[in-house]
Structure 1
Amino acid sequence: MSNICIQLLFCLLILWFKTSAFIPFPLLADGGQTSDSITHAEITQSGFIRCLARFFYETRIQLNSNSKNAVNQQEYFAQNHTIDGLYKLAFPDYNQAQIELHSLPLKFILDSIMTHNALVDFDSDTQKLSAAHFDSEAFINGSRRILKLKQKILNDVRDTNKDLTNARELLGKLLHTLQDFYSHSNWIEMGKTTINDRIGVNESIGSIADPNQPTCTSDGCTRITKKCTLWQLFTLRTCPIVYYDCKNNILPEINDQNLLTSGYLFNQFNENNELLNKPTNVKKCSHGSVSDDSSHIPAIGGINKDSNTLIFSPHSNLHFQAADFGVKATEQFLNGLRKDVGDDNFDRLFAINPTHTQRQNASKAIENGQRFRFFTSFISVSLKEDHSLFMEFKNWIKKRVNMIKLILNNIFSSETNFYVPTYDLSDLGVTVKDATNFRAAPYIIESESARNKRRLIHILRKRI
């Protein structure tokens, strides 16, 4: 389904139905055609699936190698897995209803982790905190943030009497910062083919460009100015839209010397709440986006790979590679966490083998109307070594068409499919009307009520 069709579907929702819910990226594009990009939630879920697959193989499946339900090791590590699929292999005697009930507590926990991952882009404490995103060359601060969060998680998980709600929230925040390293830094542009295994282990994660050292050039960027559609005028709040297509705009000596750099922005802050802006006396890279005013200050453009569209990401051609590294870094961190706390504590953190009470509570939550915010049942991924996840990403994008149909069905039907995510953060105090929040742009837009197309256009124009 094309982005135009997706947008038309959203218009129909606005025209025909009154809702206070928020509809986020990736399902419905926000005028920047971001619906074919990979999100933090998808990166987190797929990294966890790879970790869970190893956990089940080593703690259950491998132990049953001589039984009638034996699993071929080579096939297991080559095929794609969903969470339900892994539970079926780990508990071959369970029927589908038992699988769904047994995996439900884990899914709610994973959904909470993904929610707090997303909130890093909205929370006032982290939205403009450079260290939370590895922006403004804050590599030491970002690494230190991950190490501090990791230690808090370890302390909680090792305490068997500790409630792990806070540990799970911290894990979501940590993974967001970890994943941003690959989409915000020049790690990929340096030609790296593996993830940075120093992150989460050492405070120093590589050599960093000097604060007074130029890192980018304007020569590698082409300025694009386009008339905006009514949809873009509504969602981006600017017209015409101006953005950049950048390739090879990082100075060759920076990449050749393996010096880390990342994009700067205006009005960012450090941990001491001190203002950080893009320097004007030296040509540093910008983050880049139609919403990033610093991208017009030399060196123009930007280097972020957050999305698969130039409107939000000047290096969008490297988006899938950044997402691939994000998945593998997430998996590696979770595997390391499992090793640090042991299988029993790791199991308890995610409720992989839930207690009777946990199953009951999860079941009651569903009965009382609780839904997943981000968890999606169709995410599947393989464990192949040195395997690019590009094809998996493409398959996820294709399956979003069915997700849109399910969302429409949930709205217009009296029966609700609880496996369809709500993408609703409204109860968490998220403000989505701030058009200056460039981090929020690829996530969500707010729907309005209207009776017909004329009324819709009137509303859109009033909001501009």
Structure 2
Amino acid sequence: MNSFTLLCVSIHFYAVAAFIPHPTVRFGGQAGESITHTDMTHLGFIRSLARFFLGTHHGNQVNAEIFNSTHTIDELYQLVHPDWSNDQVKLYLHPLKSIIDHIQVRDALVDLNPSTKDLPSAHFDAESFIGSNRRIMDLRKKVIEDATNPNKDLDSARGKIGDLLHTLQDFYSHSNWIEMGKTEINHCIGMEENIGQIADIHQATCISDGCTKIKSKCSILQKLILKNCPMEYYDCKNNIRDELNKQGILTSDYMSNQLNEKEEPVLKPTNVEKCSHGSVMDKTAHPSPIGGINKDTVTPVYSPHYHLHFEAAKLAIQATEQFFNELHKDIGNANFDRLFAINPTEKHVEMAATAIENNEKFHFLTATRSIGLSSGDINFQKTIKQRLQEILSILFDNKDPDAPTYTLNDIGVDKNAMNIHSGSLLIDSSKTIKIRRLSQRRYKWIRV
């Protein structure tokens, strides 16, 4: 067991029904070694920003091949503004970073907001391909309308981007796109009505063969949250019916406690074998066909298809980048610049200076995430290591000025919420817990 896993086990148990929304250490959860929704949004935008610079006059000042190498947002700006000091980079990038952080927050909140956390069309669940795709198309249309209207408040458009990206990213974890052997994104999502052939409601999609039940003991915190120990979950491979994957027929997962837009229950059918989401908290995983197909995390506790997590995350990042690139084409350079404050106004800079002076921190945006335009450069282990360092900084008071808070307590997230998407927010800033310092033979009382 590595140091990150030890830290996470000692802190809390976290259950999800989507790519983990964010590393929720400070309000009761943990992302483990999985790539989160907030990571995907950040990395996808870095790539799109690099293409923006290449397509404008800034790109003429830099060798285009340099953009293929990995860069953080700060490093991209240093490439196109070599005359800026570090303080200038920090000041002039603060508005853009605040906007991306806002989008990341809205992305994460889809798994926590009462109106969307159990809504199949917000997550491509329950074979809601038509509804989920329509949601993305509608949100995209509204973003374009707002971004091209100089009289519109752009905060609304930015929030809609976060809502949209969550649904888009979930397609790659909750459907069988990866299991079909696809190595490219589905370019039709959000752009066309037809995104592919969909399994009929009466068509069987999953089997129990290939799924192994696992039972494991609960930690003290897991007992408090689950109240049902030992834990039971599944490790599944090849449990999607072979004919679906060979014929390119789309299916997705059902899970417990979901409601449609009319607040009517959406249940896994009992008269035909449909796929479950699968996780330690998903009750639909136990009736036949057992198990599930989600790829949200790298552990079978939450994801029966955990072994395909990084493949799903890679395509979700590419799809995120494509969304930003297509948005750029549709609204033009000036509006794209204005939407993300790529070249901040004087008012933006004044507000940034005040925020920096007050030591205001971002929720999720971090200066360490990096990626390049080369398709093979996604270093997931580097991302995970950086997150561990940031979390250690938070937990052990290292006072890293660039570390995000990794909390949503300040925007009113219900600390007592208990659902399959977000898990229980058992530990928050008002709770004191005892955590063993890693690599040290002593304990420290800390607040998280």
TM-score by length of 2: 0.90
SS of 1:242's partner is: strand
Contact 1:286 1:294 in 2 (8 A): yes
**Judging changes above 3 Å, is the alpha-carbon distance between structure 1 residues 29 and 449 closer, same or farther for their aligned structure 2 residues?**
closer
Deviation at 1:444, TM superposition (A): 8.1
Q: Quick one: which of 67, 73, 77 aligns to 2:64?
A: 73
- Gaps of at least 5 residues in structure 1 are 12-23, 65-70, 454-464
Contact kept? 1:153, 1:170, Cα under 8 Å: yes
Note if 1:433 corresponds to 2:420.
no
C-alpha contact 1:324 1:388 (8 A) present in aligned 2? no
| Shift in Å, 1:144 | 0.2
**Contact 1:307–1:319 at 8 Å: present in 2 too?**
yes
What are the within-5 Å matches in structure 2 for residues 15-414 of structure 1? 26=23, 28=25, 34-64=31-61, 71-74=62-65, 76-384=66-374, 386-387=375-376, 389=378, 392-408=379-395, 412=397
Provide, for residues 368-402 of structure 1, a one-character-per-residue CA deviation record: whole Å limited to 9, x for no partner: 45320010111000111x4262xx11111112232
CA distance in 2, matches of 1:37, 1:337: 28
Residue 417 of structure 1 deviates from its aligned partner by 4.2
Preserved CA contact (<8 Å) 1:32 1:311: no
Deviation digits for residues 53-76 of structure 1, max 9, x if unmatched? 111122133322xxxxxx3322x1
* Alignment match, 2:4: 3
Say whether residues 1:422 and 2:405 are aligned partners: yes
CA distance in 1, matches of 2:26, 2:240: 29
Deviates more, 1:161-170 or 1:28-37: 28-37
RMSD (Å) for aligned C-alpha atoms: 2.3
Q: Deviations over 1:40-87 (max 9, x none)?
A: 0000000000000111122133322xxxxxx3322x133101000001
Cα deviation, residue 434, structure 1:
3.1
Residues 1:146 and 1:253: Cα distance change in structure 2 (over 3 Å): same
- The number of residue pairs the alignment matches comes to 426
Taking the aligned partners of 1:117 and 1:247, their CA distance within structure 2 comes to 29
Contact 1:27 1:35 in 2 (8 A): no
Q: Report the more deviating stretch, 354-363 or 24-33.
A: 24-33
Deviations 1:201-235 (A, max 9, x none): 11221110000111000111111111122243244
Please tell me whether the aligned partners of residues 415 and 424 of structure 2 are also in contact (alpha carbons under 8 angstroms).
Answer: no
Cα deviation, 1:16-62, whole Å, max 9, x if unaligned, reads xxxxxxxx953749999741000000000000000001111221333
Greater share of helix: 1
Q: Which segment drifts farther, 426-435 or 139-148?
A: 426-435
Secondary structure of the corresponding residue to residue 54 of structure 2: helix
Residues 404 and 34 of structure 1: CA distance in aligned 2, closer, same or farther (over 3 Å): closer
Aligned-pair identity (%) = 49
State the alpha-carbon separation in 2 of the partners of residues 55 and 133 from structure 1: 29
Task: Give the secondary-structure state (helix, strand or coil) at the position aligned to 2:240.
Answer: coil
Say if 1:33 and 1:116 are closer, same or farther in 2 by CA, change over 3 A.
closer
1:364 CA displacement? 1.2
Distance in structure 1 (CA, Å) of the matches to 2:428 and 2:238? 36
